[in-house]
């Protein structure tokens, strides 16, 4: 296609097209603009949604990003605060190594994740994000990208284990069922206090 044909089809002036030609730009190789993580977080928060585990990790990795959220800064900080001190309970290497196999249905790998979870779960109910962020925090960016799609499947297989049956429940919130995790002994203690 000649410059004159491009000018006729696009309406861009011939002078501007000649400037672009001098730059020798290959339009087939122009990378799309990278999405700013703060924009994606702001998009979730303005719709009163829970940030994803990846977004929570982005804020934990770059705490200064919260200043880019404008009026949604407080909502973001509240969601980060709701997951607590992640670094103190981050998954050890053997647990993060088991995520992929647990996601594929390996009961032994799911048991490794379940035993770690039972050792760190608090007495009060916590969300899927609370668990997912702790599983993903120790991993580098490449490992996180590999493990992220497997987290939900791995936790599903953990919930199927009889050893973990007393440590989770499905609760209807906002017209959706949400999974909550908690220390099993805590539920028994709360039940005995109700009597």
Query: Measured between alpha carbons, how far is 145 from 32 in angstroms, rounded to an integer?
Result: 20
Residue 195 has pLDDT above 50, yes or no: no
Whether residue 97 has pLDDT greater than 80: yes
| Statement to judge: residues 166 and 180 lie in one domain | yes
Are 95 and 78 found together in one domain?
no
Shared domain check, 172 and 92: yes
pLDDT band at 11 (very low <50, low <70, confident <90, very high): confident
Residues 126 and 59 in one domain: no
Q: For the chain, what is the domain count? A: 3
Domain that holds residue 66: 37-82
User: pTM, whole model, 2 decimals?
Assistant: 0.74
121 and 179 co-located in one domain: yes
Same domain? 42 vs 128: no
For residues 71 and 106, membership in a common domain is answered with no
- Same domain for 164 and 102: yes
Q: What is the pLDDT of residues 70-93, one digit of tens each?
A: 899 999 999 999 999 998 989 999
Q: Are 98 and 149 found together in one domain?
A: yes
Residues 96 and 164 in one domain: yes
Tokens (6 digits) for 41: 């977080």
């Amino acid at each position: 296609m000649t410059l004159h044909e491009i000018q006729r089809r696009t309406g861009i002036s011939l002078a501007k097209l000649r400037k672009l030609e001098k730059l020798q730009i290959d339009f087939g190789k122009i990378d799309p603009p990278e999405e700013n993580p703060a924009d994606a977080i702001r998009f979730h928060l303005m719709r009163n949604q829970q940030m994803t585990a990846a977004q929570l990790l982005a804020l934990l990795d770059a705490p200064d990003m919260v200043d880019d959220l404008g009026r949604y800064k407080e909502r973001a900080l509240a969601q980060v605060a709701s997951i607590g001190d992640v670094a103190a309970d981050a998954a050890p290497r053997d647990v993060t190594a088991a995520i992929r196999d647990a996601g594929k249905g390996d009961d032994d790998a799911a048991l490794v994740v379940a035993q770690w979870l039972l050792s760190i779960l608090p007495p009060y109910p916590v969300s899927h994000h609370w668990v997912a962020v702790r599983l993903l925090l120790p991993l580098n960016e490449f490992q996180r990208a590999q493990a992220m799609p497997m987290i939900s499947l791995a936790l599903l297989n953990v919930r199927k284990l009889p050893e973990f049956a007393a440590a989770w429940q499905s609760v209807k919130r906002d017209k959706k069922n949400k999974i909550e995790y908690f220390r099993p002994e805590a539920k028994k203690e709360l039940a005995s206090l109700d009597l």
